[in-house]
Structure 1
Amino acid sequence: MSRKVIAVAVGEAHTLALTADGSVFSWGRGTFGRLGTSKNDDELFPVPIASGDPSGLHFVGIASGAYHSLALRDDGSVWSWGYNAYGQLGNDGENQSIPCLVEHFKDLGLPDESTEDSTKTPLKISAVKAGGMMSMAIDSHGSLWIWGNCPQATDDGGFCLLSSDIPLPVWSFHGHTVVKVVCGNEHVVAAVSTGETFNGGDDLVCYAWGNNNHGQLGLGDNESRARPQVISTFNKESPWVVYEIACGAFHTAILANKKSYDQEIVSNCWTFGLGENGQLGHGTTKSTSLPEPVDALPQDAFLISLDCGLFHTSVVSSAGDVWSWGMEKGLGLCPDASFSGTDSGDALFPLRIRAPETNGIRFTSPMQVACGAAHTVLVSDNGYKLWAWGRGRSGTLGNGSITDCYIPSAVMWPPHDVILQDKKSKEDQMVSKTGEDGGEFAETEELNSLRTKLSLMERYANLLHISIFRKPLDERKLPQLLQESSVFDIKKELEDVLEKADDEELTRLEMFYEGMLSSVKDKLMKRRVKELVKECLLSLSNGRQHYPV
């Protein structure tokens, strides 16, 4: 269970992963304490967050704003850490580098009848969400709370952004159930039941409010709203029912099913708001204030996950197809992206992301996609694999490197701590079976040290394999040469890769080479690498069966 990821949340340049056993791991940029590790250092691999409670924390939900993070505990309490300039942590203190309890909900519940004093049962939260400098929570009654840099009404009925370190209720939805909520830099979108309760059917209506300078509210104009207003495309009478929503900095994306009585499920992605980087996927850089479908997506694809970065958008289908569009070929804010010629620029239409593990277009058993400012993370294999691509600086991709990657790169999962935890659990079980003395299964300090070194070597070998072959090392698919001998002829393996590669694969190899070369700072080393590659290509073109070393 500690290896299975059930949710990911992505901030500006950091990522959170929630596992099935209630643990939270983080990686990427560490400034402001956003990783929750008790320090501000960057992390190149997933690491467990620090525990802000001596009794330990078991989480069931996570969320990321630009520079802060939220987590929902199994007892319904909310914990926060990271940047707090706008009160988005739910307290009036400084930035926090470990999870801290949002105290406000403790005294909002009903009186505890089991005690004679005035103690109240804390209000339980059922979902958390964050974006930009805002934080939000949905309580167990379906009510919405918001804090941080929030859209609010002025005394004259106008619109403003108000910083609040106290969670404020959104009274507009009183008598209804808020099912989902998301936010961009300064706008909020929510899916709310038409009746008092949500029955899981077609009774969801979409509301939006906040800054609307680019039409990101989908209301047909550019006028900001201080209070929620129904998006007419997804109102009670609409033939479409919303099931997923996401916000970029200044654009919004929605997944909706067409109401049908013939059991045929038809889904589509709708986008609106700022479009100057192609993040709407409509084939232009025009902005739009009304929801428009992304027609370039296949009509027969059932979309299961959606997210928006600052200026890009990504979706995933149930079949394992992944598409991205927007800034820098759908990578987000990557000013150093090494595209050139006709390949450069923003993606105005959805681009299909290829799966390196299968050398095909589909990922195995996908679950969720999440977007940051300049990177994207995909959960696949029913939660047992993580992929990331985009900007790599500060360890954002979780693969041990700070190099940008324009194709999916395997996140180092499970992390080292999980591997050691699993080994220790097995060792404890063996010791308990053989008595306190340990018998033949007792582990010596030397053996433990060797196992730790083996784990580190496994990670190192995997990194090398990813660097060369662009996919994780799978012991089930080891080359026959290595299975039959203790010597691995890396030159021959590279030769086989090149001989079997098609034009597209060779293009990807060239992109990898250019990215690798850009990370070499020593001029003499860079020149030597170029010379070696040139000699290698010449030897191949001449039909020689060897590589220069």
Structure 2
Amino acid sequence: MEDGMETGNLSRKVISIAAGEAHTLALTGDGRVYSWGRGTLGRLGTGSESDQLLPTRVKFFGSDDEKEEKRKTVGIAAGAYHSLAITDDGTVWGWGYNVYGQIGANGEFSLVPRKLEGFLELGSPDSSTQDYELKSGKALKISSVKAGGMMSLAIDSLGGLWMWGNCPNYEQSKSPEGKFSLVSSSAPIPIWNFHGHTVVKVACGNEHVVALVSAEETYEGGDLICYSWGGNNYGQLGLGDNESRLQPEVIETFNLQSPWEVYEIACGASHTAILAKRKRPSDTLESFCWTFGLGDRGQLGHGTTKSFSSPEPVKGLPQSIFLISVDCGLFHTSVVSSAGDVWSWGMEKGLGLCPDATFNKEDAGDAISPLLFPCPDTRDSKFHSTLEVACGAAHTVLVSDGGLKLWSWGRGRSGVLGNGKTVDCYAPTLVLWPSLSDDFRDDESVEVRKKKIEETNPDVIDKRLSAAMEEMKLLESKLSITEKYASILHGSIYGRPFQEHDIPSSLKNSGSFDIAKEWENMLESSDSRKLARLEMFHRNMLRAVKDKLMKRKMEEMIRESLSQVLPELLNKRSE
């Protein structure tokens, strides 16, 4: 029973997310991959180009459930229009757009996941591959994947780096000209520059790459050096100029002697974001977000739209906080703190949306400094147990509650927000998670989960509030008419307007009303004038009733007589 419960929890727990131009990927604890959003070019891996408004499971072996159960995914990545996954056996899979070879296969695109064949035939960029395999008794495997733009990257179990798709022309650097260019390759290209060191993390934008590499041969925590290379038209390499590089170079702000220790990196199309903490011991655990590159839409968060070619800390964030995750969209950036605060900055209020007529003049405009995005589901406005944030071209996805909740906001077209709709959301909204697939139907019905999600949907809340207001107006109208009617009756009987103190105490206290008893009490408490007025009122009322009864009796007698006499008169006339 416990094993079954644990498996159930893992199937609902998201451990990683990735966002492309208009699609999103989620990886669960039991090794399954889900996708939603725009399906064009097969980027969802569902076997068709149809959009998916809700999380849908990606199957690697189609209808072969036995193979599916054996395969466990341990990593995911999303480029602009393609997706990658890595399994626990070190195999790399790709699907989606492939004109530049970014999924490592032949053809313009693939609607389903395809395995990258012959990935490590050349051996690791680290020449100790054979020694590693002999000593460990294990074959060299891929340990992580990353994607950005039309490019794909992978790190193997020795810390070697591989690159394929539309990449900086690494081989061109060996020629006398050495001019920057991009090259397309469906076969992974090994990057030999970091021989004798371990590549720990890597990120890429449209044309540039940033990597964290160990200072020593192996990495056991501690010093990491930050390198960058590729296109640099806007200073996105952080090297202090706008010259592109075909070979990795150290970003001096984060070199071995730097007081800063980098632990997270992210790349937008043409800008870069880095999380770093102080190396020296400190009483408070704090970190800073550094950004550089293109800043025309405020995506650097420096309070300006200028571009920066060297790393600068984002000053608009509170001090003494620890940032745990960062990601970059096309023109926006998002960070998350360990306390559950989420900030974004960049195009159209940090949403990444292009200027739209739905924004009024007061709300429109790029956020050139960080804006806080509060959680609509908690009193303290914080997202509890946050894990990771991911930015697409114009949408943002957040994992909270230890992986059991997903939030999204920004552009909603094609269902990229995963909430079952195609409208833009300017505030965090819940993704319909767990998925509506058969995997989750045993414990909770689809309708129940839909209802739970809808109850927290701002649109649904607004509609319910509007309906409640209309009902209140109707009740107020009925109450007003009732009060007017009661006042007229009361005035007719008692000769004065109805007042609240005229309501009998029994009706006030219990809601019930014994009319006989209350009539007796009223007669006992009334003075002579009130009794005389009541007598006159009832005498007049009784006289009117008697008159009405007499009139009706006379009408009945006349009708009865006519019914008897009229036939006789007609007979005589006919004779």
TM-score, length-scaled by structure 2: 0.75
Number of residues of Structure 1 aligned to a counterpart in Structure 2: 454
CA contact (8 A) 2:105 2:114 kept: no
Q: Which has the higher helix share?
A: 2
1:318-353 CA-to-partner distances (Å, cap 9, x unmatched) read 000000000011111333362222321100010000
The 5 A counterparts of 1:38-49 are: 38-49=47-58
- Name the SS of the counterpart of 1:457 in structure 2: helix
Q: Tell whether the 8 Å contact from 1:192 to 1:207 is kept in structure 2 after alignment.
A: yes
Unaligned 5+ segments in structure 1 are: 115-119, 427-453, 473-488, 496-535
Task: Name the amino acid aligned to 2:34.
Answer: F
199, 203, 222: which one pairs with 1:182?
203
| The one of 24, 30, 34 aligned to 2:33 | 24
Please say if 1:345 is aligned against 2:360: no
Q: 1:143 aligns with which of 157, 160, 171?
A: 160
DSSP-derived class of the 2:423 partner: coil
What does residue range 366-381 of structure 1 map to in structure 2 within 5 Å? 366-381=386-401
The 2-side partners of 1:545 and 1:127 are apart by: 67
Does the 8 A contact of 1:185 with 1:250 survive in 2?
Answer: yes
Mapping for residues 210-249 of structure 1, pairs under 5 Å:
210-249=230-269
- Kindly indicate whether residue 315 of structure 2 is the aligned counterpart of residue 323 of structure 1: no
State the SS of the aligned residue for 1:307.
strand
Once the two structures are superposed, what CA deviation does each residue of 1:347-386 show, in whole Å capped at 9, x if it has no partner?
0010000101115421111110000001000000000000
Name 1:395's counterpart in structure 2: 415
Q: Supply the AA of the counterpart residue of 1:388.
A: S
Q: How does 1:330-479 map to 2 (within 5 A)?
A: 330-336=350-356, 338-417=358-437, 420-424=438-442, 455-462=445-452, 464-467=454-457
In structure 2, the residue matched to 1:62 is 76
- Superposed CA RMSD in Å reads 2.8
Answer yes or no: is the 8 Å Cα contact 2:454–2:460 preserved in 1: no
Q: Which residue of 1 aligns with 2:317?
A: 297
Cα distance in 2 for residues equivalent to 1:179 and 1:165: 23
Query: Does residue 95 of structure 2 align to residue 75 of structure 1?
Result: no
CA distance in 2, matches of 1:362, 1:337: 30
Q: Which residue of the other structure, out of 91, 106, 110, is the alignment partner of 2:105?
A: 91
Distance 1:42 1:299, change over 3 A: same
1:168 matched to 2:189? The reply is yes
Instruction: Report if the CA contact (8 A) 2:285-2:320 is conserved.
Output: no
**Contact 2:430/2:453, CA 8 A, preserved across alignment:** no
Give a deviation string over 1:37-88, Cα, whole Å, max 9, x none.
Answer: 1111100000000223742221000000000000010001111000001000
When residues 65 and 113 of structure 1 are mapped into structure 2, their CA distance, relative to the original with a 3 A threshold, is closer
1:278 and 1:543 map into 2 onto residues whose CA distance is: 50
Over the matched positions of the two proteins, sequence identity in percent amounts to 60
Task: Return the alpha-carbon distance in structure 2 between the equivalents of residues 348 and 490 of structure 1.
Answer: 36
**Alpha-carbon distance between aligned partners in 2 of 1:545 and 1:461, rounded to the nearest angstrom:** 32
1:125 equivalent in alignment to 2:142: yes
User: Counterpart in 2 of 1:481?
Assistant: none
> How far, CA to CA, are the matches of 1:326 and 1:205 in structure 2?
28
Aligned residue identity for 1:397: L
Instruction: Report the structure number with the largest CA radius of gyration.
Output: 2
Q: For residues 456 and 84 of structure 2, what CA distance do their matches in structure 1 show? A: 32
Query: 2:11: which partner in 1?
Result: 2
Structure 2 residue 215 is the aligned partner of structure 1 residue 194: yes
- Can you list the C-alpha shifts for 1:91-129, whole angstroms capped at 9, x where unaligned? 233311111111122534578999xxxxx9863001100
Change (3 A) 1:471 1:160: farther
